[in-house]
Amino acid sequence: MTKLAVIYYSSTGTIHSMAKRLAEAGEKAGAEVRLRQVPELAPAEAIASNAAWSQHFDATKNEPKATANDVVWADAVLFGTPTRYGNVSSQLKQFLDTLGPQWMQGLLANKVYAGFTSTMTAHGGQESTLLALYNTIYHFGGLIVPPGYTDPVKFADGNPYGVSHVTGGNNDAPLGDAQIGALDHMAERVVNFAAKLSA
């Protein structure tokens, strides 16, 4: 059975919703799935300043946290992060930066990787965030398997680099049909590629 890790950071819940959908789609595609959140790094006063952030933090603080073993265990890894000035959030980046020992041993290489993100605005740095995320994967020696335009759903979602969602400033903006279809497609594609590699 292909092993899929969905590892993410979410402040107000959008990436959390996307990660849960990917985990469900991965299981439907036949994978054993670990859904893991990276630890929060922001100070308490910053979290408290945003009601949605505070609520999401309280609701998810006891969920399983990502470890290096989750990446080593997996045949495929989907990383999720909100966009921070067109870049990866510090929380996910800090987790990636702790994987040096595993990287040195070659334990992160030859796995399938892809990413997902969200922004408040339509041109808020989604593509640059995914491309920045993939810089780390190149160093891992990982195999980036983007969705590209390999399914009609990608022409509705419009992001060949991964999957992205625009919240429009609404912290709990629901995922639309285009995003759900794109998430399902990416999970299935990544699981299938990982299974072929394992074979």
Q: What angle do CA 108, 91, 120 make, to 5 degrees?
A: 115
Q: How far is 22 from 35, CA to CA, in rounded Å?
A: 9
Strand 112-119 with 143-144, pairing: parallel
Low-confidence residues in the chain, pLDDT < 50: none
Q: Note the pLDDT tens digit of each residue in 118-168.
A: 999 988 999 999 999 999 999 999 999 999 999 999 999 999 999 999 988
The CB density around residue 183, as the number of other CB atoms within 10 Å, is 29
DSSP state of 65: B
CATH number at residue 40: 3.40.50.360
Q: Number of structural domains, the chain? A: 1
The residues with which 84 forms a beta bridge, in sequence order, are 87
pLDDT at 171: 65
Cβ density class 5-18: b for 16+ within 10 Å, e for less: bbbbbbbbbbbbbb
pLDDT at 150: 97
Are the beta carbons of 167 and 119 closer than 8 angstroms? yes
pLDDT at 172: 66
Domain that holds residue 33: 3-198
pLDDT at 199: 87
Secondary structure class of 5 (helix, strand, coil): strand
Burial of residue 106, with CB atoms counted within 10 A of its CB: 0-12 exposed, 13-18 middle, 19 or more buried: exposed
